[in-house]
Structure 1
Amino acid sequence: MFKRVQSLVDSHEVVYQIADINDLVGSPNASEWFSRLIGRVPTDPNILARMGSLSAREGDDGQAFHYYLEAYRYYQVNMDVISWLGAYFVKNEVYDRAIQFFERASQIQPLEVRWQLMVASCHRRHGDYVQAKRLYEVVHRKYPENMECLRYLVHLCKDAGLVDEANEWFKKIKKLEQRQQEKTDDARSRDENEGIKHGGHAATGQRAVASVSARGGDMMEDELDEPRIAFSEAKPTNNDDDGEIDLPGI
């Protein structure tokens, strides 16, 4: 029996399941099991990423960086790994390295605007304002309704003394805010109209039912068909519808 149990523990799949369960329940033994697993499959990017995540949650950024970087070395399309490494370099102000990871993320998810904004943000933080401004302008052409991009353009132009250009970007912000407010007002108005419409019909129906109930109490048994006539006559008419009228900042 002992040999059978020992053979099961020697299985990579079994060790992974034990490590995974320990991680899910928040057991401190999770790291030990994943470490044991890495000793047997040292190049598995998923296991390395899990160890990186565990280390990060324990507050050991140095160890987390080691495991995440190893995970990226073996598998370069894991977005969780890429975004963590990019954020790590931003946190440590190593912006040229952060740019590499955010550019990689942008290649993998070209329609996700936040990676492009992060690249521009890294250039801005690094002091390369000309390149940052150029990248923000590129983002604006692709996503003209991205408010964050417009605000950075205003700040960059103001800091560079480009007052007229800053004012032009600011005007675009106000126009965008107005359009967004109009959309919100239109949606609210439609919702209110729908509520009035359905509420009006419901009130009319309730009045009709109340009328039938009041009359029904005075009826004899041979007059039971009459409430149906009264109910039919009390259906809402068209006149009842007169009332229808939110690093990327790290």
Structure 2
Amino acid sequence: MYAEALNTYQVIVKNKMFSNGGRLKVNMANIYLKQRNYSKAIKFYRMALDQIPNVHKEMRIKIMQNIGVAFIKTGQYTDGISSFEHIMSTSPNLKAGFNLILCYFAIGDREQMKKAFQKLITVPLEIDYDDKYISPNDDPHTNLLIEAIKNDQLRQMERERKGMAEKYIMTAAKLIAPAIETSFAIGYDWCVEVVKASHYVELANDLEINKAITYLRQKDFYQAVETLKMFEKKDSRVKSAAATNLSFLYYLENELAQAANYADLAVNSDRYNPSALTNKGNTVFANGDYEKAAEFYKEALRNDSSCTEALYNIGLTYKKLNRIDEALDCFLKLQAILRNSAQVLYQIASLYLLLGPDDYLAIWTVSSDPTLPMLFITKIMFLSPSLFCQSYRYFPSNIEVIEWLGAYYIDTQFCEKAIQYFERAALIQPTQVKWQLMVASCYRRSGNYQKALDTYKEIHRKFPENVECLRFLVRLCTDMGLKEVQEYVTKLKRVEKLKEIREQRVKSGRDGSARSRREGSGSGDSGGSAKGERLSAKLRALPGTNEPYESSGNKEIDASYVDPLGPQTERPKTAARKRMDEDEFADEELGEDLLPE
């Protein structure tokens, strides 16, 4: 209830005797910030800053940080830089340093990005490092004390702060590396050198690996491999990460021997690395040893139960071993983790295919991929309408599914149900007249002639030269005995005549070009005569003249049409008695016993 809160705060801060008005104005500014009223938020933050004394240093720093964030939200990066520079010069912190880098990146100032990154690196974390958690001797009492404080709340807070600092530094380095130098590689090298000179030395290796991954994104596999090979003599964690990437690269290039060597190196360097175990399983799988590959995938899942790659690959392994139920169990677990993954759903569907039609239909209790019916339509002849209805419910913009459902309901003589699907198709493809014609035809087939007429009129308004629509209008107006029939007959004649003139013009253009190529230029008189005839034909074809329409004389209009939905299926005939025009007993005399009493 932001409006009520603001009114209440306003009443309080108007009282001059209240000494904590500055604090309440911070609350008001926070509300305006939530409402995205950034100009008012900045105004109240500044008013609060004026009223809060300098002794409350931490509060003032937080207010200035909020002012800087509001300036970023409004795109005023220069003003935001002023706020964050003041914070970094008086009381530096990680958030302010990272936001300062973002502001300089937004305005494209390379030199200031470098300076801001160096300031971020030097922000003190105010935490103790791991030295105090190492026992200096074998004193049992000291060892017990160290074990007690290794994972207490203070230690957890220190780890969180360190993790946040590493995240900010890594993100900032990845952001500015391509922007501060002529190439991203030189930018990464500069960031690595700066990080190595700080107390975040271990982050330098992570930045080098990120550099290799950037090479991969740019499809520069050679440079990626060369960068990763530099880590073969590093410590075990970094070596395992680099060897894992190298193994996968060689696997993609189908160099299985090299992939296996680096997979072994990765596993030996860090036996608990799930990615390394998954890559090792991949190399064994490629050699056809599916049982052994499954063991590596299982070990990867034991080390990290959320390793979706290992779970997917073990499902494929069980499928190869014809253990369909176990494979299906793996992919169903994976589907609960990766909702709407097309690859996972495809595998589930293919496994149900192997189990049989009844089991395949059960997939729609767990599936939400709209494309699966179309993927398997060529394979499965027992598809039921429920599959397409389910697909339409999850993805109502698939034209193939919409068309199938509309045609199905027309075949089963439920034209009213088909209307909603063709209307949806008309919304998706508004320039395709066929969907709107199908809607009108459904109305006509269901007996709602007035609605069909209105729909055809709307189609004619959007597509005035559509001959098929005009033929339907002529036929309907004739059947309903409406006076508008003559108007539509005239329009139909005009459109057909224009269509005929266009066709003749195209045909004569083709014939003329062919004749000129064969015979060359003709005589001047005949050319002038032909030119005059073409000119008079053009004049007669102008919409403002009546000649082309009257010249047709009493020519009978062709109001025949072809239903876009095909011939109408006859409904079963009922046993209703035919209406008789004459009385069957007209010639018979009724006796007195048959007369009413």
CA contact (8 A) 1:49 1:71 kept: no
Listed one character per residue, the Cα deviations across residues 45-72 of structure 1 (whole Å, up to 9, x for unaligned) are: 11134345655xx3x5xx4311111111
Among 539, 556, 565, the residue aligned to 1:249: 565
Q: Which residue of 2 aligns with 1:177?
A: 496
1:91/1:39 CA distance change after superposition, 3 Å: closer
Where does 1:70-81 land on structure 2 (aligned, <5 Å)?
Answer: 70-81=390-401
Select the residue among 487, 503, 506 that pairs with 1:187: 506
Q: Deviations over 1:69-92 (max 9, x none)?
A: 111111110000011111111222
Which of residues 452, 455, 465 is equivalent to 1:135? 455
Residue 484 of structure 2 aligns to a residue whose secondary structure is helix
Normalization by structure 2: what TM-score? 0.30
CA contact (8 A) 1:52 1:66 kept: no
Matched, 1:118 2:438: yes
> Counterparts of 1:120 and 1:191 in 2: how far apart (Å)?
38
Q: Distance in 1 between matches of 2:509 and 2:404?
A: 43
Between the two structures, name the one with larger relative contact order (CA 8 Å, sep ≥ 6): 1
Larger relative helix fraction? 1
- From 330, 355, 367, the equivalent of 1:42 is 367
Superposed CA deviations along residues 169-214 of structure 1, whole A, max 9, x for unmatched, are 222222211111111111111111111111224xxxxxxxxxxxxx
Equivalent position of 1:104 in the other structure: 424
State the one-letter code of the partner of 1:132: A
Q: Pick from 166, 182, 199: which aligns with 2:518?
A: 199
Contact 1:117 1:149 in 2 (8 A): yes
| Whole-angstrom distance in 2 between the partners of 1:119 and 1:40 | 32
In structure 2, C-alpha distance between the alignment counterparts of 1:118 and 1:15, rounded to whole Å? 34
Which deviates more from structure 2 when the two are superposed, residues 166-175 or residues 1-10? 1-10
Name the SS of the counterpart of 1:45 in structure 2: coil
Match of 1:145 in 2: 465
State percent identity of aligned pairs. 35
Matching residue's letter, 1:139? I
Q: Give how far 1:241 is off.
A: 4.2
CA-CA distance at 1:35 after TM superposition: 3.1
After TM superposition, give the deviation of residue 42 of structure 1 in Å: 2.2
Q: Which residue of 2 aligns with 1:161?
A: 481
Task: Classify the secondary structure of the residue corresponding to 1:118.
Answer: helix
Q: 1:95 to 1:14 in 2, by over 3 A?
A: closer
Contact map agreement 2:392 2:398 (CA 8 A) in 1: yes
| Closer/same/farther in 2, CA of residues 2 and 40 from structure 1, 3 Å limit | farther
Aligned residues of 2:440 and 2:456 also touching (Cα < 8 A): yes
Q: Please identify runs of 4+ aligned residues in structure 1 that moved more than 6 A.
A: none
Q: Is the 8 A contact 2:364 2:390 kept in 1?
A: no
Please tell me the residue identity of whatever aligns with 1:124. Answer: R
Q: When the two structures are superposed, what TM-score results if normalisation uses the length of structure 1? A: 0.66
Secondary structure at the counterpart of residue 397 of structure 2:
coil
| Aligned residue-pair number | 197
- RMSD (Å) for aligned C-alpha atoms: 3.4
| Segment drifting more, 114-123 vs 42-51 | 42-51
The whole-number CA distance in structure 1 between the counterparts of 2:361 and 2:476 is: 50
What is the match of residue 89 of structure 1?
409
Deviations 1:130-166 (A, max 9, x none): 111011011101111111111111111111122x422
> What is the CA distance between 1:36 and its match in structure 2?
9.3
Measured at CA, do residues 96 and 180 of structure 1 come closer, stay the same or move farther in structure 2, by a change above 3 Å? Answer: same
- Counterpart of 2:241? none
Matching of residues 211-230 of structure 1 within 5 Å:
none
Amino acid aligned to 1:47 = L
Larger Rg: 2
Show structure 2 runs of 5+ residues with no match: 1-288, 295-313, 320-326, 332-341, 531-562, 567-597
Show the counterpart of 2:195.
none
C-alpha separation in 1, matches of 2:376 and 2:522: 64
Closer/same/farther in 2, CA of residues 95 and 159 from structure 1, 3 Å limit = same
